[in-house]
Structure 1
Amino acid sequence: MPVGDVEAEVLIVGGGPVGLTARALLERWGVRTLLVEKHRELSPFPRSRLVNVRSMEIYRQLGLAAKITATAFPQEYGRIRFRDTLHDHDFATAAMVGVNAPVPESPVIGAVTSQDRLEPTLLAAADAPARFGVELIDLTEGAENVAASLIDHQSGEETRVRARYAIAADGANSTVRQRLGINTAGPGAMGGFTTVVFDADLNHWRAHQPAGVYFTAHGSFAPLYPEGGWAWFAPTPQDAARADWPGLVSHALGPKADVRAEVLRVQHWVMNAFVAERFRRGRILLAGDAAHAIPILGGLGMNAGIADVHNVCWKLAGVLQGWAEPSLLETYETERQPVAHRTLRQAVANTQLMRDVQSRRRDQLRTGEAPPDHVELPWSERYFAQLGLVLGVTYDSAAVLTDDSAAPEPSESGTDYVPTTRPGHRMPHLWLTPNRSMLDTFGEWFTLLTPDPTRWQQQAATPRPLRIEPLPAEHTAFCGLGPRGALLIRPDGHVGARWRDRPRSDSTLCNALTAITRSTPL
């Protein structure tokens, strides 16, 4: 191999939460990876603020949920509040259901935490090489691999990498997506915004009414860490280069605040809203913001990216380890692109609803009369739960063996989640013991859940990773199974197949695994 060349099974481009999660997942599968990130260090900015309940289920599987929770805010911060200024009383508020308190639909609870607290935990979760300050400058695909050219910005050294596959998790302005010539569809840029990270003594205004974010008439304020620190989010002013950021933040806090903000960092960014027209080009797969840029309202963007790599990493592992055909990778776009479009619609709706609340308040203030103490929200308390969107994701592809059952009606708002074991859906959470969820039986393998493990054990000879778990009798009716039925759960926790009663033949299970991993009709 020529000097300067590096080999890996999967090259991961991008060192944000999505790329780091992919690295941790693939290491669990025994896949050799190399992660490269053009910035010299992890992001010092808070960026994404919410790890939703589905992402926390994935991190529970990786053994990271407790570590993430340990540096996150207490549950009572899982709420949004609307105020005229930060020091005023709420005129509207809504809970983030699944974050502000436990929900029966999951063994975990979401977390309000800053991305710069999350990323170090994800980086430490794997030992695979991660090179920061190294930028991808070229990427080509061959018959058997992809070839990438990288440049180290500190040393100026150029490195060539050969990998079997590449995951592009390099953000909304993805270099990889642009080099592949993949277009996007959607509203596009929704405006320029600025994040100002600052220190100020504001705790007495949030002490009795904590929140993950406070929306005000002069921008949004968010506490960054349990021990202190704040961020202000607002539209970027026209002359940003000469802006008096401490003065702007102090003005936004309101005249009663009498606080001078100590500005630590300033970042300008564009709120994008689009979905890539393709999530895959040959051996190169897009994930996270590279595949779909989601407006920040509702905290859906990063979490959608985490679900992307949870979907694709087991498929890559199967192809690389030889127990799945390359055609399985075709199901990644088939399954995740519709979810991205639905998520984008929801986030755009969230943005409009937030504007509606603030517009109502401005209209009331313009009348000159004393505004009411409360503004009725244009959504229910459950709106920001969106459990139907994050737990009710359904996949319809050749990697799912459908049965004759009817699909639950999806809720338009994404709030309502109806647990079901219908193929394609996330397997619902059920407690097996006081501390062990059904979801804890899933991992780097297919899982067969059945009340009759002895009968199905006779079919367990397969080259694919498989574990058989007994299903307690009290759960069989809920799962829609008879005494000899079974559910086949994919490594990403989605139901791949369901047999309501005894297997049709001695090869039923093997045939199903073959069909799923080859993505061919049974």
Structure 2
Amino acid sequence: MSAVQDQENIVIVGAGPVGLTLAIDLAARGVKCVVLEMRAENAPAHPKCNTVSARSMEIFRRFGIADEIRQQGLPADYPCDVVYATRYTRNELGRLPIPSWSERFSGRGHDAGWPTDEPPHRVSQLFLEPVLRAKAASVPHIELRYETELLSLEQDNNQVTLVTRDVASGSENTLRASYVIGCDGGRSVVRHEIGVPLEGDDNLGRIKSIFLKSDSLKEKEQLAPAWMTWVINAEQAGTMVALDGKELFLCHCRIPADVSFDGFDPVEGVCGVTGVDFDFEILAEEDWIARRLVAKKYGKGRVYLAGDAAHNWLPFAGFGMNAGIEDAITLSWRLAAINNGWASEELLASYEAERRPVGEQVSRAAMHLAQNQAPPEIPAALEDDTEEGAGLRAFVGAALVERDGPQFNPIGLNFGVPYEGSDVIISDDEEPPEFGIDLYTPSTVPGCRVPHLIFPDGSSLYDQLGPEFTLIRKNKSLDITIFTKAAQRQGMPLEVLDIPLGDQMPYDRELVLVRPDQRIAWRGDSVPADVGTLIEQVCGVFA
């Protein structure tokens, strides 16, 4: 018999980066939530993800933790270059220069010049997650329940009932919630419980990820330091990631088609990728299958999915965890608006309409990057210490740098994926700009991310946006009284931001309505006659 606890408002299953981001953002909007996590409070995170995207860093800036995150991981002067080599320790084929975090704002490097206050940051989830945990523990409205396993859930029209187990004692408890959000990863119990399948391409390759510690590997390195090294050879391909610039590494070993996970020797794999025999300690291993899978639905009833629970694809361009973080932000303001009484529950239906197409688009982009990177055939003489070998290395390296460059300059994946077909975005006649992995055209077309601006005094537009809706007005003399009164009648929080832009592109409309997730909900040159209906629509209230 399980003990019955009081009903909670929102229960989040999973205290990884996605679940913690959702909890922190809900708390900032005054909404209480309970976070269930199977691991212990002091359990180290696995270094699965090793890039925090610019878009995620913008979100963390709003949380007040971007500077702290930027100082985690690699030393301040450690280059974040991407290298291609035949082995981790020798035969460099090519290099994409990316500066250290202390020089990130220098304007130099392969991915320099992005229109944001927060460029991407190369840091492992190993170091990111503790910052998010500490932030979540420090703010009101969040209850973190570690060592709590979700066993089952069921729902009706009014609530969700969860059965959980205390990992330490084995005792079971029953918990009730208004909404449940599954942020519990690729093997999501939440997704399984609501019966939502994954769709897409399965079994695209097999990888063994080995988290290791060695104080002797750096002594054997012959190449200049780099954050990530892609290893291409005919024997053992893989990737090495420097986690702390000293003794912690993550090695992804590609497993041959005729070898099972159990039959693959991780020690031989690491030595094959590095090209040397050395002393190291394996701290953790993880077997995973490369996939391109997206949940058929992002929610059912009062239960919703975010992060790897909703999508699972190859971690190219660093957009597994980061897509999940934007899932969380897209979902959190909706839940808060409903909780705080100024939006309809129908607003939640648009979460899937906005984020699932993004999951499909980004997953296909990641698969394209993976296919584009792999050389069709590895020359037998690639590692030979001969003139032929040197020529082959130069040729293969140049091709890799050219083909794989977009993966490490994914400005379009960060800023250029619009929301289309959403009932709570008021579209106009203009189409959003063309999408490209490394292509971004700032635009105020509804559904796009609001374009970044730096004002003459050095301040940032993003730092001046309100926490909920913001109406950007170019001409202060334009009367918007009817607009603000319509928002007041709905109870929708609205701040007005007057910015003297003149005819500056891309702000080619007098008014731009920005949502809490920094997406554009509407734009126009005057207050529309049916502004009340407009306000209701962006809040999910339909006649």
Task: State the TM-score, normalizing by the size of structure 1.
Answer: 0.90
- Is the CA contact 2:163–2:172 (under 8 Å) kept in the aligned structure 1? yes
Q: 1:469 to 1:116 in 2, by over 3 A?
A: same
Q: Is 43-52 or 361-370 further displaced after alignment?
A: 361-370
Q: Is 15-24 or 259-268 further displaced after alignment?
A: 259-268
1:444 equivalent in structure 2: 467
2:121 equivalent in structure 1: 111
Pair 1:517 & 2:539 matched: yes
Deviation readout 1:373-399 (Å, 9 max, x if unpaired): 422225263443221122012112111
Q: Is 229-238 or 23-32 further displaced after alignment?
A: 229-238
Pair 1:149 & 2:171 matched: no
Q: Is 445-454 or 179-188 further displaced after alignment?
A: 445-454
Pair 1:121 & 2:131 matched: yes
2:342 equivalent in structure 1: 323
- Is the CA contact 1:13–1:37 (under 8 Å) kept in the aligned structure 2? yes
How far the C-alpha of 1:207 sits from its partner, in A, is: 7.0
In the alignment, the residues of structure 1 paired with residue 21 and residue 222 of structure 2 have an alpha-carbon distance, to the nearest angstrom, of 32
Equivalent position to 1:466, from 474, 490, 494:
494
Find the residue that maps to 1:403 and give its secondary structure. Answer: coil
Matched AA of 1:442: L
Pair 1:381 & 2:396 matched: no
- Is the CA contact 1:86–1:221 (under 8 Å) kept in the aligned structure 2? yes
1:93 equivalent in structure 2: 95
Equivalent position to 1:338, from 357, 372, 375:
357
In the alignment, the residues of structure 1 paired with residue 331 and residue 359 of structure 2 have an alpha-carbon distance, to the nearest angstrom, of 14
How far the C-alpha of 1:180 sits from its partner, in A, is: 1.4
Equivalent position to 1:398, from 404, 409, 423:
423
Deviation readout 1:312-366 (Å, 9 max, x if unpaired): 1101111111101111111101001111001111111122223227x34557559
In the alignment, the residues of structure 1 paired with residue 358 and residue 261 of structure 2 have an alpha-carbon distance, to the nearest angstrom, of 36
In the alignment, the residues of structure 2 paired with residue 316 and residue 424 of structure 1 have an alpha-carbon distance, to the nearest angstrom, of 19
- Is the CA contact 1:168–1:284 (under 8 Å) kept in the aligned structure 2? yes
In the alignment, the residues of structure 1 paired with residue 77 and residue 58 of structure 2 have an alpha-carbon distance, to the nearest angstrom, of 16
Equivalent position to 1:182, from 189, 196, 199:
196
- Is the CA contact 2:88–2:229 (under 8 Å) kept in the aligned structure 1? no
- Is the CA contact 2:97–2:110 (under 8 Å) kept in the aligned structure 1? yes
Q: 1:453 to 1:203 in 2, by over 3 A?
A: farther
Equivalent position to 1:430, from 443, 453, 459:
453
2:184 equivalent in structure 1: 170
Q: 1:383 to 1:243 in 2, by over 3 A?
A: closer
In the alignment, the residues of structure 1 paired with residue 77 and residue 307 of structure 2 have an alpha-carbon distance, to the nearest angstrom, of 26
Aligned-pair identity in percent equals 27
How far the C-alpha of 1:246 sits from its partner, in A, is: 4.0
Q: 1:208 to 1:174 in 2, by over 3 A?
A: same
In the alignment, the residues of structure 2 paired with residue 6 and residue 206 of structure 1 have an alpha-carbon distance, to the nearest angstrom, of 60
Alignment of 1:487-506 (within 5 A): 487-500=512-525, 502-505=526-529
Matched AA of 1:70: Q
- Is the CA contact 2:185–2:309 (under 8 Å) kept in the aligned structure 1? yes
In the alignment, the residues of structure 2 paired with residue 75 and residue 464 of structure 1 have an alpha-carbon distance, to the nearest angstrom, of 46
How far the C-alpha of 1:162 sits from its partner, in A, is: 1.2
Matched AA of 1:517: C
Deviation readout 1:149-198 (Å, 9 max, x if unpaired): 11111111211111111111111111111121111111123343222222
Find the residue that maps to 1:129 and give its secondary structure. Answer: strand
Pair 1:161 & 2:175 matched: yes
1:27 equivalent in structure 2: 27
Q: 1:473 to 1:296 in 2, by over 3 A?
A: closer
1:313 equivalent in structure 2: 332
- Is the CA contact 1:83–1:90 (under 8 Å) kept in the aligned structure 2? yes
2:224 equivalent in structure 1: 208
How far the C-alpha of 1:121 sits from its partner, in A, is: 0.8
- Is the CA contact 1:13–1:19 (under 8 Å) kept in the aligned structure 2? yes
How far the C-alpha of 1:6 sits from its partner, in A, is: 3.6
Find the residue that maps to 2:132 and give its secondary structure. Answer: helix
- Is the CA contact 1:85–1:216 (under 8 Å) kept in the aligned structure 2? yes
In the alignment, the residues of structure 1 paired with residue 470 and residue 339 of structure 2 have an alpha-carbon distance, to the nearest angstrom, of 20
Find the residue that maps to 1:126 and give its secondary structure. Answer: helix
- Is the CA contact 2:416–2:448 (under 8 Å) kept in the aligned structure 1? yes
2:316 equivalent in structure 1: 297
Matched AA of 1:253: T
- Is the CA contact 2:482–2:527 (under 8 Å) kept in the aligned structure 1? no
Pair 1:480 & 2:508 matched: yes
How far the C-alpha of 1:408 sits from its partner, in A, is: 1.8
2:439 equivalent in structure 1: 416
Q: 1:114 to 1:181 in 2, by over 3 A?
A: same
Q: 1:497 to 1:223 in 2, by over 3 A?
A: same
- Is the CA contact 2:57–2:66 (under 8 Å) kept in the aligned structure 1? yes
Structure 2, unpaired ranges of 5+: none
Q: 1:139 to 1:392 in 2, by over 3 A?
A: same
Q: 1:365 to 1:210 in 2, by over 3 A?
A: closer
2:154 equivalent in structure 1: 140
Query: Once superposed, what is the RMSD of the aligned Cα atoms?
Result: 2.7
Matched AA of 2:419: Y
In the alignment, the residues of structure 2 paired with residue 353 and residue 434 of structure 1 have an alpha-carbon distance, to the nearest angstrom, of 43
Matched AA of 1:215: V
- Is the CA contact 1:102–1:108 (under 8 Å) kept in the aligned structure 2? no
Matched AA of 1:464: M
How far the C-alpha of 1:409 sits from its partner, in A, is: 2.3
Alignment of 1:68-83 (within 5 A): 68-73=69-74, 74=76, 77-83=79-85
Task: State the TM-score, normalizing by the size of structure 2.
Answer: 0.87
- Is the CA contact 1:294–1:344 (under 8 Å) kept in the aligned structure 2? yes
Count of aligned pairs between the two proteins? 509
Q: 1:315 to 1:220 in 2, by over 3 A?
A: same
Find the residue that maps to 2:273 and give its secondary structure. Answer: helix
Q: 1:361 to 1:496 in 2, by over 3 A?
A: farther
In the alignment, the residues of structure 2 paired with residue 213 and residue 115 of structure 1 have an alpha-carbon distance, to the nearest angstrom, of 18
Find the residue that maps to 1:50 and give its secondary structure. Answer: coil
Q: 1:126 to 1:71 in 2, by over 3 A?
A: same
Structure 1, unpaired ranges of 5+: none
How far the C-alpha of 1:211 sits from its partner, in A, is: 2.7
- Is the CA contact 2:501–2:507 (under 8 Å) kept in the aligned structure 1? no
Q: 1:213 to 1:56 in 2, by over 3 A?
A: farther
Find the residue that maps to 1:370 and give its secondary structure. Answer: helix
- Is the CA contact 1:17–1:119 (under 8 Å) kept in the aligned structure 2? yes
How far the C-alpha of 1:477 sits from its partner, in A, is: 4.5
In the alignment, the residues of structure 2 paired with residue 161 and residue 363 of structure 1 have an alpha-carbon distance, to the nearest angstrom, of 62
